[in-house]
Amino acid sequence: MTPRHDTAKSLKITALPVADAAKVLASAYGRRVTEEQVREVAEAGGLIAPDGTINLLEYTAYLVRELAHGSD
């Protein structure tokens, strides 16, 4: 059996365009997450790569660090 190739592009969590990251986060969170919200956080954390993508793992780690520092 040959592997099925979907027409949808595959996502690379280590290099997601901000718009795609917002869609993934919204789906995971079950609420609306806008591209602007993701970009604001990513810019604050210096997480946007030169090609305009973000690493979703680094983004999540940044949010966890921010949350931990805010709980002091």
Taking only the tens place, the pLDDT of each residue in 20-53 is 999 999 999 999 999 999 999 999 999 999 999 9
In sequence order, what DSSP letters do the residues of 18-70 get, joined into one string?
A: HHHHHHHHHHHHTS---HHHHHHHHHHTT---TTSEE-HHHHHHHHHHHHHHH
Note the pTM of the prediction, 2 decimals.
0.79
Closest to 47 (Cα-Cα) out of 24, 31, 26, 66: 66
38 exposure class (CB count in 10 Å sphere: 0-12, 13-18, 19+): buried
